């Protein structure tokens, strides 16, 4: 097959790797098992004929620099709306709504100013934000320079870290916890502090909109998968869908790609980037896998965390803000989409196997608690979407994540699971993809 490099998996990581290589005139073939690109950041056809529906609402941030650069390269950056400055509305357990609204100032002053006037948080706690400032500054330096150690202990959870840095109960419940759960997809008593502190280092980066929330204005497939495919095919590269692939190793080399429905591809030393999620890695590697044995064992031992989304259609608009945090309920966020509201429950393992009507009733109750306009309305249509393996667990007891390079010469790894220091996010996947491509472009 006529190509300089191969990628297995057309999620954000695989596509970002392929795009980077294509930008440097390498011809790349991406094999994707499913019928569409985008992986976990994708959409499916709406059987009722509406626009494609996302497999789950994705929220990006202004500090997703790698992601935004990737989208700019493939021509879809305009389909992401980044807030000029962080503004986030939250409904508390009593049903009262408040908004953290930050001025467009450099970080961390924008957050200090926003929190200083946020009346939902007691004054004493607003002042306590200052106790976190040295750690935030340090995290920002580590992220910016790539040097030094993050100010977090290996074995502490996010909650322990927040407590150690003097953050009070209300600020934690209304700001840090929703932010952490959205970024980590795991409760703050379970997730390790380290990836969260790295995220904070990015969120409080030098860019004025680093802390801003960014939402796609179109279905994800139009933002990620399709434009990436178009970009690649315009440069002599391509994504081959319905191509379930395995990589055969002979010990020191990846020798061929075996495809379920097509002739194998002999690699003859050409590089292959495996960009599948952690749980698929053991099935992708075949032959003498001794050298990648530790990575495969780590992948097999890594636990998944689920996300459940519920879409509720109404015949009028019930949510008046793009997104709304909901404190202390099952679903943490509600997003206003075209014609429907999408409610998201991160860390949803306790409910992911429940019946759809049970899940939907819970989502509707949470929406009605948070949004008075939804109380008198019955949804005209409902849909529960389960992603049982949405992300990998960030508990401190989980196996170490792998590097980009492996002990097999022409085999590289990319996916959000690769050790970027970031949680399982689009940004982590984009960074991992770019790094894998860099290994090929400038071999060390």
Ligand X SMILES: Cc1cc2nc3c(=O)[nH]c(=O)nc-3n(C[C@H](O)[C@H](O)[C@H](O)COP(=O)(O)OP(=O)(O)OC[C@H]3O[C@@H](n4cnc5c(N)ncnc54)[C@H](O)[C@@H]3O)c2cc1C
By CB under 6 A, name the binding residues for ligand X: 8-14, 31-34, 39-41, 55-56, 58-60, 244-245, 275-277, 280, 284, 307, 309, 387, 390-391, 415-416, 424-427, 429
The CB-of-170 to ligand X minimum distance in angstroms stands at 24
The CB-of-414 to ligand X minimum distance in angstroms stands at 7
Contact 284, 403 (CB under 8 A): no
The CB-of-236 to ligand X minimum distance in angstroms stands at 21
Nearer to ligand X, 40 or 401 (CB): 40
Nearer to ligand X, 12 or 272 (CB): 12
Q: Report the phi/psi class of residue 308: left, alpha or beta, with left for phi > 0 and alpha for psi in -120 to 50.
A: beta
Helix axes 12-23, 225-233, angle to 10 degrees: 30
Nearer to ligand X, 111 or 179 (CB): 179
The CB-of-296 to ligand X minimum distance in angstroms stands at 14
Nearer to ligand X, 126 or 434 (CB): 434
Helices (H) and strands (E) in the chain, counts: 15, 21
Nearer to ligand X, 33 or 133 (CB): 33
The CB-of-247 to ligand X minimum distance in angstroms stands at 9
Nearer to ligand X, 102 or 215 (CB): 215
Question: For residue 256, what are the β-bridge partners?
Answer: 248, 266
Place of tokens 């019928």: 35
Nearer to ligand X, 162 or 348 (CB): 348
* Distance, CA of 180 to CA of 284 (rounded, Å): 32
Place of tokens 């009262």: 96
* Distance, CA of 406 to CA of 249 (rounded, Å): 12
Nearer to ligand X, 121 or 239 (CB): 239
Contact 174, 232 (CB under 8 A): no
Give the ranges where 24-157 is alpha helix by DSSP (H). Answer: 65-74, 109-116, 123-128, 133-145
- Cβ within 8 Å of residue 182, ≥6 positions away: 59, 332, 333, 346
Nearer to ligand X, 125 or 427 (CB): 427
* Distance, CA of 178 to CA of 311 (rounded, Å): 20
The CB-of-119 to ligand X minimum distance in angstroms stands at 28
Residues in the chain: 444
- Cβ within 8 Å of residue 12, ≥6 positions away: 38, 39, 41, 67, 70, 224, 416, 426, 429, 430, 433
User: Which has the closest alpha carbon to 282: 267, 269, 264, 294?
Assistant: 294
Dihedral of CA 83/212/362/328: which sign? negative
The CB-of-286 to ligand X minimum distance in angstroms stands at 10
CA 270 to chain centre: 30
Nearer to ligand X, 60 or 100 (CB): 60
* Distance, CA of 393 to CA of 167 (rounded, Å): 24
The CB-of-153 to ligand X minimum distance in angstroms stands at 25
* Distance, CA of 11 to CA of 26 (rounded, Å): 19
Place of tokens 């750690």: 135
Nearer to ligand X, 85 or 305 (CB): 305
Q: Report the phi/psi class of residue 104: left, alpha or beta, with left for phi > 0 and alpha for psi in -120 to 50.
A: beta
The CB-of-231 to ligand X minimum distance in angstroms stands at 16
The CB-of-261 to ligand X minimum distance in angstroms stands at 12
The CB-of-92 to ligand X minimum distance in angstroms stands at 22
């Amino acid at each position: 097959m006529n190509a300089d490099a191969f990628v297995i998996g057309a999620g954000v990581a695989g596509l970002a790797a392929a795009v980077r290589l294509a930008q440097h005139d390498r011809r790349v073939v991406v094999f994707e098992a499913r019928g569409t690109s985008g992986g976990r950041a994708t959409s499916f056809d709406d059987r009722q004929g509406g626009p494609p529906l996302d497999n789950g609402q994705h929220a990006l941030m202004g500090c997703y620099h790698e992601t935004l650069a990737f989208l700019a390269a493939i021509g879809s950056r305009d389909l992401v709306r980044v807030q000029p400055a962080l503004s986030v509305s939250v409904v508390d357990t009593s049903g009262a709504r408040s908004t953290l609204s930050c001025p467009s100032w450099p970080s961390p002053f924008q957050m200090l100013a926003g929190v200083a006037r946020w009346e939902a948080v007691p004054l004493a706690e607003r002042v306590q934000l200052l106790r976190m400032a040295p750690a935030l500054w340090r995290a920002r330096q580590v992220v910016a320079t790539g040097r030094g150690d993050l100010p977090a202990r290996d074995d502490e959870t996010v909650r322990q870290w927040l407590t150690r840095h003097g953050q009070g109960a209300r600020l934690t419940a209304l700001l840090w916890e929703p932010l952490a759960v959205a970024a980590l997809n795991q409760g703050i008593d379970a997730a390790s502090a380290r990836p969260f502190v790295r995220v904070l280092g990015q969120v409080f980066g030098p860019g004025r909109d680093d802390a801003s929330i960014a939402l796609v204005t179109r279905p994800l497939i139009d933002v990620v998968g399709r434009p990436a495919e178009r970009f690649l095919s315009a440069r002599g590269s391509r994504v081959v869908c319905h191509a379930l692939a395995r990589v055969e190793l002979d010990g020191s080399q990846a020798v061929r790609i075996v495809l379920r429905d097509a002739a194998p591809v002999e690699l003859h030393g050409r590089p292959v980037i495996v960009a599948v999620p952690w749980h698929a890695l053991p099935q992708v590697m075949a032959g003498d896998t001794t050298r990648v044995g530790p990575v495969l064992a780590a992948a097999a031992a890594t636990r998944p965390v689920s996300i459940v989304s519920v879409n509720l259609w109404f015949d009028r608009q019930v949510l008046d803000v793009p997104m709304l945090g909901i404190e202390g309920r099952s679903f943490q966020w509600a997003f206003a989409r075209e014609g429907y509201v999408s409610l998201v429950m991160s860390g949803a393992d306790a409910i992911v196997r429940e019946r759809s009507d049970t899940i939907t009733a819970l989502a509707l109750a949470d929406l009605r608690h948070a949004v008075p306009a939804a109380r008198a309305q019955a949804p005209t249509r409902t849909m529960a979407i389960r992603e049982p393996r949405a992300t990998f667990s960030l508990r401190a007891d989980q196996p170490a994540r792998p590097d980009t390079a492996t002990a097999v010469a022409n085999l590289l790894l990319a996916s959000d699971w690769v050790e970027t220091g970031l949680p399982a996010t689009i940004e982590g996947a984009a960074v991992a993809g770019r790094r894998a491509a860099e290994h090929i472009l400038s071999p060390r």
